Chain A
Amino acid sequence: MKCMPSGFGKPIFRHFLGGSIVCCLAALSMHAGAQPTSVNPVQAPVFPGDSVYQVAATLTDQDGRAFKMGDHRGKPVLVSMFYTSCKFVCPMLIDTMALTQQSLSTEERARLDLLLISFDPARDDIQKLKSVAGARDLGPAQWTLARTDATSARKIAATLGIQYRLLSDGEYNHTTVLVLLDADGRMVGRTKKIGTADAEFIKLVKKVLSASNHTGQ
């Protein structure tokens, strides 16, 4: 883990910085007063160096609200990327996310966010996302369907290890994978098993949910 020289004062950050608190304090004392120009009056959140929340892209959800991936901090997130006009694998991808969710207890479900990001911003507008969410009964309390600009989609995909390519017929070739993020946006697991719930993966989801619950809010 890298030293985060500032901005880890929020309680939720402390646990995750855990073992590196000492090193961070050292960094703080070295930096204290030395760089007054670097002090940002609006404190931007500081995420761990290995967090995908380092990507500060702005996304828009199915209800037209702007957000950043880092806004999900505090809860584990099951994330994947898709496009709404995909006829075969993407519906199965959504099924698999739902299956994973359904294999959790009611209490666990409430603490797992599900995030689907489109890599087809040219065609996937907010209405398309909204209509998929409606048709598939993906409740807004847990499910976020999101779009962003093409550059940000490519960056998010690069962070998540997802490949996609537009083909000449308008379809995409893409990696179909579920990625599990811990409460701080670190990638802690992934599965490429689609169509069935991956028992090992669900075990991991439960473990991560339990860990995030014990560390508290």
Chain B
Amino acid sequence: MRATSFGIRSTVVGLLGACAQLGFAGTVEPLYVAIPSGSIASVLSGGSADNAPTTVAGFEMRLKPVTVAEFLKFTEQKPEWKKTKVPSVFADSNYLHQLETAAISPVHAEQPITNVSWFAAQAYCESERARLPTWYEWEYVAAADAAHADARKDPAWRAQILGWYSKPSSSSRQRVGGDVNFYGVDNMHGLIWEWVDDFNALLVSADSRNQGDPDQLQYCGAGAISLQDRDNFAILMRVALLSSLSGSASTNDLGFRCARSPTP
């Protein structure tokens, strides 16, 4: 684990993460937390009429979104992900916008990284022997408020989340941390949009059974995905955003965190 110029804190967190990975997590702060298995009535239907809740197997979620300092350290170790090196098929021109040219202040270093493509996010997670969470995993953890695993029916909580979306994105971003939910996971709402592993699977499409018109035959499968729980605007907006993106897209408010399947 190399020290960086971003100050002691990120180094310490990195070291602690390494310890946690080696199984020495005791009193130290780990990078990931175990999320117990359960089920969630997703805003996306699974394609069947009854829309039965989806089972989410136990997994590990990264406690915090990946920060600017963490991502820059990654690009030092994997220079192929620097802005100047990354192939255009993996990242568009907004990738790491203004990041590598600007001096990184200690405050900026602790902000979540944004302007990262899905490919870059996936590669970062692989460097932590992890992956991006699936949509269901993300939605499952994001359903929790500070006290309940599923607070989605609480109108006050919904309103609080929605409040973030009405803030202009130009207002300065907070550093990561300080908004821990039921699982101990930070910043699921109110800080950034987040990539998920299956971002290109959140199809919200017309029915695919129109076999007659060749122009309409875009989707295969017995049933179309449709949106459920239409009152849950905050989550539906995430689906809408993610399903509109290509894997090389990078935008100002889109960052990520990683997840891991339990080691067998």
Interfacial residues, chain A to chain B (CB-CB below 8 A): 2, 47-52, 54-55, 86, 88-90, 92, 151, 154-155, 157-159, 161-169, 171-177, 192-196
Contacts and interface: CB of A to CB of B under 8 A. Distances in A.
A168 B122 CA distance: 26
Nearest to A175: B218
B89 A176 contact: no
B4 interface: no
A211 B247 CA distance: 29
A133 to B, nearest CB: 19
Contacts of B103: none
A167 B223 contact: yes
B222 A169 contact: yes
B131 to A, nearest CB: 7
A194 B201 CA distance: 21
A168 B119 contact: no
**Which interface residue of B52, B201, B203 has the most chain A CB atoms within 10 A?**
B201
Contacts of A196: 214
Give the top 10 A-B pairs by smallest Cβ distance, nearest first: A158-B247, A167-B47, A168-B46, A89-B220, A165-B201, A49-B87, A173-B221, A171-B221, A49-B88, A194-B217
Nearest to B135: A165
A161 B218 CA distance: 12
Contacts of A171: 47, 220-223
Contacts of A54: 87, 89-90
Interface string B212-240: 00110111111111000000000000000
B94 interface: no
A65 to B, nearest CB: 25
B77 to A, nearest CB: 13
Contacts of B52: 168
A176 B246 CA distance: 16
A175 B221 CA distance: 10
A192 to B, nearest CB: 6
A188 to B, nearest CB: 13
Contacts of A177: 218
A161 B243 CA distance: 11
A48 B87 CA distance: 8
7 contacts: A167-B48, A168-B46, A168-B52, A173-B47, A176-B217, A176-B219, A194-B214
B47 A169 contact: yes
B87 A155 contact: no
Given A158-B118, A161-B246, A167-B48, A172 B221 contact: yes
B211 interface: yes
Contacts of B46: 167-168
Contacts of A154: 197-198, 200
B252 interface: no
B246 A158 contact: yes
Interface string B118-137: 11001000000001000000
